[in-house]
Structures are given as C-alpha cells and as structure tokens.
Structure 1
Amino acid sequence: MSISSALSSALSGLNASARRADIVSSNIANAMTEGYGTRRLETAGRIVGNDGSGVRVMGVTRQEDSILIGQRRQADSQLGANRVQVDYGARLEALIGSPDQPGSLSGRLSDMEAKLISASNAPWNTTLLTGAVEAAQSLASNINQISSGIQSERQRADAEIGIAVDRINTALQGLDDLNKRILSVRSNGGEVASLHDAQAQLIDQISPYIPLQSRRETNGTLQIYSNDGHVLLSHRAMELGFDPSPGMDPFLSLANGNISGLTLDGRPLRLEGSNPALGGGELGALFDIRDRLGPEAQARIDAVARDLAERFDQSGLDPTIAPGDPGLFTDAGNLANPTNEVGLAGRLQVNELAMPSSGGAVWRLRDGLGAVTEGPSGNASVLTAQVDALTAARTTASGGFSSTNRTISELAAETLTLASMSRINAETSLSHTANLHSVLKTAELADGVDTDDELQRLLKIEQHYSANARVINVAEEMMDELLRIAQ
C-alpha cells in the first residue's frame, strides 16, 4: 500500500469516527426525548481499483421497533377511551348520589316519604304540611338538576369532540408537511431521521383519540390509516369535519339530525351501531357519551319522573281533581303525558295549587288540589292515599327498566346501581389497560437509547480514531524521513 493510499484510508476512518461520535452524542443527549429513534451510522468499504481504500459513509439509519410502538399506540387509544368513560361514570354517579347522602335522589325520596307520613299523622299541622310540600319541591328540583347535569355531560362531550377534531387535523397537516420535507431532503441526499422523529411525536398526539396503523413508504413518506380502514394520510392529509353544538337538550340527537356527526374530507362517517367509524379511542368514547350513554341516562331519569308523576295522577287518589288535570307533580304545569316523556325530568314541577309562593295553599295537599275552600283539618284520607301511592310497587313503563314491580325508592336505587355498574366496569377496563400500557411503554423505553451501550461505543470510536490518527502520524514520519534521505 502506498503512503498516499494509507493517508486516504486513515482520513476516511477519521471522518467516519467523527460522524459516529456526533451520532452517539446525539443519542445520549436525546435518551429521554419522546419519539426519538436511536441513530446508527451505516458504512461500507471503499474500493479503488481492486484494492480497499478506507471506509465510505452510506448514511444514517433510525432504529425503532415498529410492532412494539404500534401495540403501545393501540393501548394509548384504549386508555384514552377508558379514562373518558370512567370520568363520565363518576360524574353521573355523583349527580344521582348515594342513599347515605341527604341531597341524593334516594335521600330526597326518603325525606318526602317521611314528611308525607308525618303530615298524614297530624293533618291539622300546617308546619308538617308545609314540610311535605317543600320536600316535594326539593325532590322535583333534584330530578331537574340530574336531567340538567346529564345534558351538561353531553355538552361537555360535544365540546371535547370539537377540540379533539382540531388537534387531529393539526397533527395530520403537520405529518403531511413533514412528508413533503422528507421527499425534498432525500432528493438532495440529506438525512431525514430527525423528520421521522417529528412524525413519531405527531402520531403519538393522534393515537389516544383514534386507533391507527402507520406504514413507511420506500420514498420515506408516511401513510396512516385508522384501524377500521379509513385513510387519514396518504398523498395528502385528510380533514375531519365537525360542528360543535352551542347547547344541548334531550331532543338533540344524531338520529334527529340536529347535532353534528363526523365527516372525513366531506364524506359523512357512520357513527351508529356496534362498530362506529374511528371508534375504539377517546374520540369514539366522547361520541358514545353524547349519543348513547347520555340519552340512556336521560331516559332513565325521565322514567323516574314519569313514574313519580303517575303515582299522584292515579284515578281516585284525589277526588277533587278533574279528569285530565295533573296531580302533585306536573309536566311544567300540565298532566305528564307518556307520549311526551323525553326531557320530562327537566320539566317536572310541583303543582302550583299547593305552593304558597305561586298563589296556592299547603292545605290543598290535605284537602285535595282541586278544593276551593279548606276542609276539615282532621281529614287525612288524601294524605294517606298519597303515602300509599308513593310506596306502592308498580311496573316501570319506560327507561329500559325490566317489567318487575318496584317502589319509587327501588326505582331510584336501580337507577344509581346501573350508573355505578357502568362506572365500575369502566374502571376495571381502565386498570387492565393502564397496566398493559405501562408494560408496553417500559418495553419501548428499554428498546430506545441505552446510554451505557452508547458510552461503550464512544470508547470504541476513540480507539478507532486513535488508530487512524496513528496511521497519519506514521505516514508523516515516513515522508519526513524520505525527505531527509533525499537531501
């Protein structure tokens, strides 16, 4: 080998060692950076004629376990969905309240029952009659609040859908921009590993909302699909469309067409049924709350309101009421109508004829709501009939409940039980998913930058650098000696 050939080989080795040192330093510096893929310098032997002439740098490769990362992203989606479900379930359960809470639905019912019984035992006592009317008002107000709270939860979900759609669209557009930059950089012979890192970070922003799959093309660009096959990013970024609702009430539904669905590049997506589009993540869970879980909860509390009103509307319970007139509980002043049950819980009111604040009188609770004048103070027949109606077991006609006969207190307890079971099931799923996510995240981090290994690589690079530097030093000495001999 000639001196010039040795120098050329050593210089190429020095250049490669310097590049390796830079890459290892970058790996160590970004060991804790989310989405960072470990870099490795790819080299090959340089051939001049038939002889080796050092090393040639082929490029920088980015290492990642795509299968493991894909599994972790699937867990991201399920974790996002479970968290949304748990939070909703906990808030719904708090709205209804547990029986040991005085302000709960069961507590209000128990209070009204106790005060009606007290009033029936002393029908001449105006204080006890007032207490019974106030307990009925508190019960109606509590049912109103539960209905309003359910619609607030639907409104919250609707608003969060709008935020999620904006974030997804922003991330998809960012991925599309990076695809264009990757094509440009690659065409100029540049390195694109940092652009791949940026794309990984953007994908991680989308994965909690939508379960997705990604694929890297041979030209370096990225394609993204949802688990159910919808293209989100290919030759360009697709755009999700959604119009948040300014308000929410029980009559607003996707089926009625008066709240927004979801579109992909202007094409409506199917959100109904067992496998809705883009389901399985936080976005799907939010739609589920707004369009299924919320309306189901509203239907149950409407059924409670209907059952309560119908107990006091029974024929013969209050002989002073004309046919078609409401009893103690009304639908905004009218007789509760089974054909207009949707939203009844939000309209439930105590009959104004028994409310002094509305021009009524509490003695009508004893003498009958249709009574014109006050009757005998010792007559407790209407009060006793009301107590019997409140505590009687009857079939619940709506709300998705079974046909079993139950008291109003049992109906309230079952409403709470259904909410609690939903929340407990969601918490169980959340616990399982969180454990799985933790395992996958730990494995992903373990497969990332190993700082101990990188430091060992630095020692080897130093040795290689020293060896090549020694070759150059020896070549210099040889040339100096040749020049001395020539003189």
Structure 2
Amino acid sequence: MSDLFIIGASASRAYRTSMAAIAENIANASTEGYARRSVTMAESGASSQTMALYVARANFGGVEARSIDRAADPYLDAAVRLTAQGLASADARQRWLSDTETAMNDTATGIGQLMSGMYGQIERLAASPNDTSLRVTTLDSINRVAEAFQRTARDLSEISDGIADEATDTVSTLNHTMAALADINGSLLRASPGTSAYAQLLDSRDAALQSMSETLNVDIGFGANGTAIVSYAGQDLVRGTTSSSLTMTASADGTLALSNAAGPLTAPASGQLGGLFSAAQTVSARRASLDSLAEQFVTDVNAWHAQGLTDAGTAGGALLSYGGSAATMAALITDPADLATRSADGTLNGNLLTAYSVLRGNGSVEDGWTALIATHANLLGAVKLEYTTALERTDQAVAAREAVSGVDLDMEAADLLRVQQAYSASAKVLQIAKETIDSILRII
C-alpha cells in the first residue's frame, strides 16, 4: 500500500509545480522578455530493502518534476537583438536628422527664402534708387538674412548639444546595464539549472543583453551555467562577474567619441549610440557648411557693395561682418545714405543692377544653400526608408520568437484544466489508498 501513497503524493507534488508554472505564465503573459515556462516530469525511482541484510532493489517511486524549462531559441533571440540594433540606430538618426531639417528651416523665415527676398528688394530699389523707404527696407532685408544665419547656427548648435546629452545618458544607462549583467552572471553561477529562480535569471540576462544590443553593436557569447560574455571592439565589457565602464565625450564641433579605461574606442556602427554618433557627424557637417556659406555670403555681399558708390561719392563700406562662424554674422550699416547704389560711372542704380550677376547664379551662396537643403532632404528620406525597413524586420523577428517563447493564454488555460484534472486524480489515488488501509484495519 505504501506504493499507492508514494504514487499519489509524488504526483500531487509534481502537478502542483506544474500548476505554479502555468500560473506564472498567465501572470506574465504581457511581460516583455518573459519566456514561457514548462515543467519536465520523469519517473522517480526509489531504492528500498525490507531488512538491513537484504539486498536493496529498485522500486517505482511515482513521478517527479525534473526541471522547469524556458521556451527559448538562441538563434531567434540573436535575430531579435540584431534587428533591434538596426532599428535603434535608424530611430536615433531619423529623430535628430528630422530636427536638423527643421533647424535649417527652408520656409519663409529661413535663409533661402529671406535671401531671395533680399535680392528681390534690391531689384525694387534699382527701379527707384533714391527712395529712402526702399533703402531702409533693403537694409532690413540684409539684416534679416544675417539674423537667419545666426538663428540657424544657434539651432544646429542646440541639436548638437541635444545629441551629446542623449549619448551621455545612453552611455550611463549602458554602464548600469553592464554592472547589472555582471551581478546576474554571479547569480547564474550560484543557481541550480532547471529551477524557477534559474529561469528568472535567464530572463533577466536576456533582457540585459537586449538592452545592450539596442545601445551598441556588441559581440555576445555565453560561458558556464549560461553566463553572458559581452565584448566591443575586441575588448571585454562583461565577463563573469566583472564589468567595465564606457565614457562619452563631445568635441566643440559636435562630434562624439567613445572610450574606456584602456583608451579611445572605435565609433559605434549600430545601435542607438551608432545612430547618435552618425547624426552628430552629419549635424557637424551641416554646421561647417553653414559657416562656409555664411563666410562666402559676407565676402560676396561686401565685395559687391565695395564696388559701388554712396550718394556722397565714397566707396561702399562693409555691409556685414563675419567672426569665424555663422552665429557671429551681423549687419553693419543702418543709415540708408550709406548704401552704395551708384556705379563708378555715376549711374544712380548702376551698382544695384550688377547685384544679380555678382551675387546669384552658379556657385553663389543661394545655389549652395539650395544644394545643402536638397542633400539633407535626400539623406533624411533614405534614413526614413531605412527605419521603416528596420521596423518591419524587427516585427518579423519578434513575432518568430514569440511563436516559440511567448505565452498563449488559450493554450495555458487548456494546460491548466489538464493539470488540475491530473492533480485531482492524484488526490483520488491518495484517498483510495487511505480507504484501502482503513478497510484492512477494520478486517483485522
């Protein structure tokens, strides 16, 4: 009769463990990074002997919950990490390049259209060069272009600062994640495989690896007892219970650099940091182009104005100043009488009539600005397409992984009913064993 008690009791314990696993699955059905649990059961053997001198023999000892397993596929997990890495990079680039396009402001208040308005104002003044109000308006249009250069330079500088701030925060989060992963590795080394605690540690490990992959194009390997080994640019970031830390620095031109205790590291190629580094490089190039256009604009406008004469017969003075960057451009002349409208031969509007040929056309600042806007628009369009493609690939990879490791509530409900019935049957076995013993005792 002891066999009946052993069978019933062991089955009750095993199915209670199974019900706990199903309950955990249901509770975490919407938890990101949770892998479905299942319980592996196996026959439990028991050795017994009736007397000390008798030979022991193996008896059937019922069933036991051998291990709690995670439904995970390393290949699918790696695919999700890889696609998420590309998505994070494209997302960072798209966000900041979109902000850059806004800062460059190709609208009625932007450099391009204000410059066109300035040229139009010069043409109107050429039709009536002695009109003081038109002279004031012309000087104002020149000043507005200078202010547009200043504003655009300031906005692009703020974008560089924003990228640097996000990169700094991202690196700080990455350092915390690496330290947490080292702690998880230590817990994995102490944990027993096949237990619920071990499965939870693997979930935490994979979540940390996912976060790191979305941040940086790291290389991932695995060691004893499922511990993670993470490296970047040939240097270990996490190995066993040891983790390193990274440092991010921003230069004056807005470009970024990554380093660790051993020295500088190569720029990230993917992940959120890869996208931020790429965006920072692009914004830095836009700022340099803007400075070049500003310098050319000041040089061209001042040269054009210098070839003309004022009403007093003096050569035109500098209309604009340039202090090394677009942010320093400023208008210098405010007196309408100082505007050099005449040509050297004394024609009242002679210098104004040469503005179109001198300041506009191929190689002009206006032409360079148009090319700069078009270049950035084409790049942003390509990045948006890259983001859309990366999002689709990530969704597909996640769906494939969820098909293996995700929780299906309908399936869990069916399993719960099955296990509950098995648990009830186990209890029935115990009840029958008890009733049988009681009957035997009554007969005796």
Which bin holds the TM-score, normalised by the shorter protein?
Answer: 0.7 to 0.9
In the TM superposition, residue 21 of structure 1 has moved relative to its aligned partner by 0.8
2 CA distance for matches of 1:193 and 1:460? 23
Matched with 1:73 is 81
Matched with 2:208 is 202
Matched with 2:408 is 450
Q: Which moved more, 1:201-210 or 1:29-38?
A: 201-210
For the pair 1:365 / 2:339, whether they are aligned, the reply is yes
Matched with 2:49 is none
Matched with 1:331 is 322
* Residue identity in the other structure for 1:318: Q
2 CA distance for matches of 1:207 and 1:164? 12
Matched with 2:263 is 267
For the pair 1:388 / 2:345, whether they are aligned, the reply is no
Matched with 2:329 is 348
In the TM superposition, residue 253 of structure 1 has moved relative to its aligned partner by 5.4
For the pair 1:379 / 2:348, whether they are aligned, the reply is yes
The 1:136–1:316 alpha-carbon spacing in structure 2 relative to 1, beyond 3 Å, is closer
2 CA distance for matches of 1:175 and 1:474? 51
- The percentage of aligned residue pairs carrying the same residue is 20
Matched with 2:417 is 459
In the TM superposition, residue 242 of structure 1 has moved relative to its aligned partner by 2.5
* Residue identity in the other structure for 2:353: T
The 1:103–1:37 alpha-carbon spacing in structure 2 relative to 1, beyond 3 Å, is same
Matched with 2:269 is 279
Matched with 1:429 is 386
The 1:268–1:326 alpha-carbon spacing in structure 2 relative to 1, beyond 3 Å, is farther
2 CA distance for matches of 1:190 and 1:418? 55
Matched with 1:402 is none
Matched with 2:104 is 96
**Structure 1 counterpart SS, 2:336:** coil
The 1:46–1:315 alpha-carbon spacing in structure 2 relative to 1, beyond 3 Å, is closer
Matched with 2:313 is none
- 8 Å CA contact 1:74–1:212 kept in 2: the answer is no
1:249-288 per-residue CA deviation (whole Å, 9 max, x = no partner) reads: 54x656xxxxxx21234432023xxxxxx32111012122
Matched with 1:401 is none
List runs of 5+ in structure 2 lacking aligned partners.
47-56, 311-315
* Residue identity in the other structure for 1:14: S
| Higher helix content, 1 or 2 | 2
When the two chains are superposed, the root-mean-square deviation of aligned CA atoms in Å is 2.8
1 CA distance for matches of 2:317 and 2:43? 95
**Structure 2 counterpart SS, 1:239:** coil
Moved over 4 A (4+): 187-190
Matched with 1:108 is 114
* Residue identity in the other structure for 2:142: A
* Residue identity in the other structure for 2:377: S
For the pair 1:476 / 2:434, whether they are aligned, the reply is yes
- 8 Å CA contact 2:44–2:61 kept in 1: the answer is yes
For the pair 1:234 / 2:234, whether they are aligned, the reply is no
2 CA distance for matches of 1:326 and 1:344? 21
The alignment covers a number of residue pairs equal to: 427
Matched with 1:33 is 31
Query: So what's the TM-score if we normalise by structure 2?
Result: 0.88
- 8 Å CA contact 1:116–1:132 kept in 2: the answer is yes
List runs of 5+ in structure 1 lacking aligned partners.
255-260, 272-277, 333-342, 356-360, 394-404
- 8 Å CA contact 1:43–1:55 kept in 2: the answer is yes
2 CA distance for matches of 1:137 and 1:56? 85
Query: So what's the TM-score if we normalise by structure 1?
Result: 0.81
